[in-house]
Chain A
Amino acid sequence: MNSWLIQNASIVGRETADIAIENGVVTEVGTGLTAPEGARVLDATGLIALPGLVDLHTHLREPGREDAETVESGSRAAALGGYTAVCAMANTSPVADTAGVVEQVWRLGRDAGLVDVQPIGAVTVGLKGEHMAELGAMADSAANVRIFSDDGFCVADPKMMRRALEYVKAFDGVIAQHAEEPALTAGAQMHEGEFSSQLGLAGWPAVAEEAIIARDCLLTGHVGSRLHVCHVSTAGSVEILRWAKSKGWRVTAEVCPHHLLLTDERATTYDPVNKVNPPLRTDTDIEALRAGLAEGVIDVVATDHAPHSSEDKDCEWAAARPGMLGLQTALSIVVKTMVEPGLLDWDGVAERMSRRPARIAGLDGHGLDPAPGVPANLTLIDPAASWTVVPNELASLSRNTPYAQMTFPATVRATFLRGEATVLEGKAQK
């Protein structure tokens, strides 16, 4: 089952070659290969083979909100989006702040078998920012946690942030910060600017993100640890990150597809499908984020896939929960916003959606280009195809996509997890 001969694929957008896979491992990459024994043959003419995508920021909602998403449904959405690994955020119910919960999520992911689900552990107990969670126990658990985050909330207390950064050095952990100064965003509903002033929605100022990023970069430099900045959304944040990286500090950052494409003008509909945290910002920010991603100041694209049930979105803007679906649209949006304008080539896409995130998360078998001896975690993309987003056709249990009826370039034709096809001909295999 896990042996394949993939013929005539463009390897990461470069030369055309066959990929032979035996028992889940790539054995050969070259032209005119013969099929390994018992292998199925897949004609990949016109398709691009990428290392399986890796998402550093996924909300799977299980345990606690299985009506919005489960590990299995989210894994399916991920596979269909070209992913072979996702990092599951800790803001579940109960919170993933103990070895027990992270192991539960990890097992659910393994049982679903569609992608590798790597749990992220909470930094503080209950995401409350008061007491450090047992980070070491989570690191030592079967889930082997290396990323810790209170995402949804900022680790706002500078002393707590400093301690967490220091503490995880013992096991090469990284703190993934949701950068939002809470005193500046009480009641905030959308980007603070022209549209918030018109719409009477409380503003979420760019400075609330930038101030925390600047502080955390300084702390990281001071204690010599690793910081990962979640969902960077402003032009100012890009500048601060560029400066921090110039110091040689170990700071990495992600940007979400929606922040590369959509602006705060979307809020004028008052449809909370456009409500997300951090909020959609301006054209200037989009431009800076795209440039930062192209340059490498922003290391990776992460989805912040955040499913919500209809009662949490079919309501007044202020009553709605923030977040949008992202796993099945991420690659297409990166193609639209980065590849088509010439800001990234396919190697750049592989770097920012697979190799870099895999290295940040410490996922050894992921983010590797097809080569002999490498686990066959791959995805095949049709760059010439396009598709229209139909919310009801997405694999997620929720429907909160802001992209309904939008047409995007590039489709995922197949995804392989250690040689097992999780997606074939654009359809999930389980």
Chain B
Amino acid sequence: MIRHLLSAADLDRDTATLLLDTARQLGQALTGREVKKLPTLRGRTVVNLFYEDSTRTRVSFETAAKRLSADVVNFSAKGSSVSKGESLKDTAWTLQAMGADAVVIRHPASGASHRLAGWVDGSVLNAGDGTHEHPTQALLDAYTMRERMGRLDGLRVTIVGDVLHSRVARSNVLLLRTLGADVTLVAPPTLLPVGVETWPARISYDFDAILPKTDVVMMLRVQRERMTDSFFPSVREYSRRYGLDLRRAALLPDDALVMHPGPMVRGMEIAPEVADSARSAIVEQVANGVLVRMAALYLLLSGEKGAE
């Protein structure tokens, strides 16, 4: 088993599949239980190290760790020495002294989790690093797709929006490709990175043409501030060309799935009626997040230590 989960590229097909299967088994083991807890990681310490506000992701990891009976320490950037300008390396040494078995890190700088992994002995889980990756988000997306669509192999997944600044897109492209899906990216050319042509994905600027050939459409959040930096001229033009409204949703095959990694900007990249429709998997994405994070913690921490 791998020691850290820093990038979706750390997962080969077997490992990724094992992770998704484990998430499913953990879900089954928990259903019907009065106390939603398994003893698996009793006595192990999981530290949540969050340099960005993300209650959703932090709570998801915290719930996952607690359901496996791990001790959870929340080390948030607010109110700790982190906010006083302590360097990531100094913080790493503190965590090392605490004997953290796993560190879950969310950080605004791309590669922060890679740096941390070089400074601590425990496992590092990347919970989002800058505009680089967010591998557990990709795992939960893949899990949701597999549960709803029954397969990932050959699945046609279209990812739409601000790919340039999206860690979710990067992790999803890598993981979905590993698991055999066909990924198409749709975005204004300004929001696709130079170099995207080397990614294992197709590129299109024509959303309408892609929708009928799509099994899963994933809408990425687009921040309004991108407009002031001339990535696109106006919110109105963006929604008209790249938003998922009712007319566009009707172009999808009947059984197609609509996903959004959240938080949503309703009315910008997705119409409220589409986000709340039956084909939307947005609510179960949250529940599935806990399961895949449990699976990730379980596999990283129960694996042979120092095998790498």
Q: Point out the residues of chain A lying under 8 angstroms from B114, CB to CB.
A: 269-270
Determine if A197 and B115 form an interchain contact, defined as CB atoms under 8 angstroms apart.
Answer: no
A223 within 8 A of B: no
| Chain A residue, CB-CB nearest to B110 | A200
Known: A315-B89, A317-B110. A200 touches B194 (CB 8 A): no
Using Cβ atoms and an 8 Å threshold, which residues of chain A touch B115? 270-271, 315-317
Cβ–Cβ < 8 Å partners of A195 in chain B: 195
Q: Which of A374-388 contact B (CB under 8 A)?
A: none
Interface contact B193-A317, CB-CB below 8 Å: no
Nearest-neighbour CB distance to chain A for B15, whole angstroms, equals: 20
Question: Assuming A314-B89, A315-B89, A318-B130, is B111 touching A196 (CB within 8 A)?
Answer: no
- Known contacts A270-B115, A315-B88; is-contact A203 B194 (Cβ 8 Å): yes
Is A137 positioned at the interface, with any CB of B under 8 Å from its CB?
A: no
Highest count of chain A CB atoms <10 Å: which of B111, B112, B129, B170: B111
C-alpha spacing A317/B115, complex, angstroms = 9
Tell me the residues in window 182-208 of chain B with beta carbons closer than 8 Å to chain A beta carbons: 193-196, 198-199
Q: Tell me the bound Cα distance from A312 to B131 in angstroms.
A: 22
Minimum CB distance partner of B114 in chain A: A270
Identify A197's interface contact among B109, B111, B193, CB under 8 A. Answer: B193
Known contacts A270-B111, A270-B115, A316-B109; is-contact A200 B130 (Cβ 8 Å):
yes
Q: Does chain A have a CB within 8 A of B3?
A: no
Least CB separation from A192: chain B residue:
B194
- Residues A317 and B195 in contact in the complex (CB < 8 Å), given A200-B132, A311-B87: no
**B58 at the A interface (CB under 8 A):** no
Contact B195 A205 (CB under 8 A): no
Q: Does B133 contact A (CB under 8 A)?
A: yes
Q: State which residues 312-329 of A face B: CB under 8 Å.
A: 314-319
Interface size, chain B (Cβ < 8 Å): 24
Q: Report yes or no: A316 in contact with B107, Cβ–Cβ below 8 A.
A: yes
**With A270-B114, A316-B111, A317-B111 as contacts: A196 and B133 at CB distance below 8 Å:** no
With A198-B195, A203-B193 as known contacts, state yes or no: A316 contacts B133, CB within 8 Å.
no
Q: How far is the CA of A234 from the CA of B118 in the complex (A)?
A: 32
CB distance from A422 to the nearest CB of B (A): 36
* B167 interface hit (Cβ, 8 Å): yes
B58-74 residues with Cβ-Cβ distance < 8 A to A are none
The answer to whether the Cβ of A201 comes within 8 Å of any Cβ in the partner chain is yes
Residues A317 and B199 in contact in the complex (CB < 8 Å), given A197-B194, A200-B170, A270-B115: no
Chain A, 179-224, CB within 8 A of any chain B CB: 189, 192-203, 205
Alpha-carbon distance A195/B196, docked complex (angstroms): 10
| Distance to closest chain B CB from A79 (angstroms) | 33
Give CA–CA (A199, B193) in the complex, Å: 11
Asked if B87 and A200 sit within 8 Å, CB to CB, the answer is no
B131 proximity list for chain A (CB < 8 A): 200-202
Interface centre among B131, B167, B195 (most CB of A within 10 A): B195
CB-CB under 8 A from A192, the residues of chain B are: 194-195
* B165 nearest CB neighbor, chain A only: A200
Chain A contacts of B109 at CB under 8 A? Answer: 316-319
Chain B residue at minimum C-beta to C-beta distance from A319: B109
Contact A205 B194 (CB under 8 A): yes
In angstroms, how far is the closest chain B Cβ from the Cβ of A291? 25
Report chain B residues within 8 Å CB of A316. 88, 107, 109, 111-112, 115
- A194 in contact with B195 given A200-B170, A311-B87, A316-B115 (CB within 8 Å): yes
On whether the beta carbons of A201 and B111 are closer than 8 Å, the reply is yes
Q: From the candidates B87, B110, B132, B194, name the one contacting A314 in the complex (CB within 8 A).
A: B87
Closest to B119 in A: A314
Q: Closest residue of chain B to A205, judged by CB?
A: B194
Chain A residues contacting B112 (CB-CB under 8 Å) are: 316
Q: Is the CB of B196 within 8 A of A197?
A: yes
Chain B residues, CB < 8 A from A318: 109-111, 130
- Which A residue's beta carbon lies closest to that of B111? A270
Most chain B CB inside 10 Å of its own CB: which residue of A196, A311, A316: A316
Q: With A317-B109, A317-B111 in contact, do A196 and B130 touch (Cβ < 8 Å)?
A: no
Interface string of A238-272 (1 = CB under 8 A from B): 00000000000000000000000000000001110
Which A residues touch B167, using CB under 8 A?
200
Q: In the assembly, what is the distance between CA of A195 and CA of B285, in Å? A: 30
Q: With the chains together, A44 CA to B110 CA distance in Å?
A: 51
Q: Using known A-B contacts A315-B88, A316-B115, A318-B130, determine if residue A196 contacts B170 with beta carbons closer than 8 Å.
A: no
Known: A193-B194, A193-B195, A205-B194. A199 touches B111 (CB 8 A): yes
- Complexed CA–CA distance, A203 and B131 (Å): 12
Q: Which residue of A lies closest to B87 (CB)?
A: A315
CB distance from A211 to the nearest CB of B (A): 16
Looking at B115, B118, B131, B132, the one whose CB has the most chain A CB atoms below 10 A away is: B115
Interchain CB contact under 8 A, A199 and B194: no
A136 to B280, CA, bound (A): 70
Bound form: Cα–Cα A297–B111 in Å: 37
- Roughly how many angstroms separate A193 CA and B109 CA in the complex, as a whole number? 19
| A 293-335 contacts with B by CB, 8 A | 311, 314-319
- Look across to chain B and name the residue whose beta carbon is closest to the beta carbon of A203: B194
Bitwise, B167-179 to A at CB < 8 A (1) or not (0) is 1001000000000
10 additional A-B residue pairs with CB within 8 Å, beyond A201-B132, A316-B111, A317-B111: A193-B195, A197-B196, A199-B110, A200-B132, A201-B110, A201-B131, A203-B193, A311-B87, A316-B112, A318-B110
Interchain residue pairs with CB less than 8 A apart (14): A189-B110, A197-B194, A198-B170, A200-B133, A201-B130, A203-B194, A270-B110, A270-B114, A311-B87, A315-B88, A316-B112, A318-B109, A318-B110, A318-B130
Q: Which 5 pairs show the lowest CB-CB distances between chains A and B? A: A197-B195, A270-B111, A200-B132, A316-B109, A200-B131
